[in-house]
Chain A
């Protein structure tokens, strides 16, 4: 266990559904991240939050909407997704995104399938 949990672990949704992914970290960190991992592609950073403020949006389509109510929780709200959005979505946390030299701790991921 890395101290980062994600729910659900698996999710199948239709293109018209609305669902949310949840991430929680128990490490006392101040930065949280969403990544997308697709087959045969490098891990892609989607969003970065530092002390609850969004500091990075890596040109992510608006059908993905992040929310960070506090430094321990991060959500990814999904709506009207496309089949190409099927992937493993990973959440991570680190001590402070502004400070160089901190490693990131990853959750186990949510395997999303869009039908």
Chain B
């Protein structure tokens, strides 16, 4: 299996409900980032959480990080149809000297569908 794995692979909810996506990884990290991708387009950065942080908020997004379990979750509250997209976690794994030299490792993503 891979460094970053999202769960579930697909999630279908109604507008107004909350959506939770999980990410597990295998090795120590500098930080973990979440990205969104609308169908066939580029990725958009959502939030970055550092290894010494446990929780971070940005608008309707809440990200948690548990380094002991090597897992992270992304919660989208009060979802909207416009939130329909694929969501990816990406891990920044330290290499020589502590930096990854920009090498993020992405998971396969969670496809979120929000029905109006």
Contacts and interface: CB of A to CB of B under 8 A. Distances in A.
B61 to A, nearest CB: 14
A56 B47 CA distance: 25
Interface in A56-100: 56, 88, 90, 92, 94, 97-100
B107 to A, nearest CB: 6
* Interface size range on B against A: 20 to 34
Contact of A56 (B40, B102, B108): B102
Interface in B1-47: 2, 4, 30-31, 33, 35, 40-45
B106 A100 contact: no
B99 A103 contact: no
Contacts, number: 77
Interface residues of A, number: 32
A106 B45 CA distance: 8
28 contacts: A4-B42, A6-B42, A41-B108, A42-B2, A42-B108, A45-B104, A45-B105, A48-B101, A55-B102, A56-B102, A56-B103, A90-B43, A97-B99, A97-B102, A99-B99, A100-B98, A101-B30, A101-B48, A101-B50, A103-B48, A104-B43, A104-B45, A104-B102, A106-B35, A107-B42, A108-B41, A108-B42, A111-B40
Given A42-B107, A94-B102, A100-B98, 9 more contacts: A43-B106, A45-B104, A88-B40, A92-B43, A98-B101, A101-B92, A103-B33, A106-B45, A108-B42
Interface of A: 2, 4, 6, 31, 33, 40-43, 45, 48, 50, 55-56, 88, 90, 92, 94, 97-109, 111
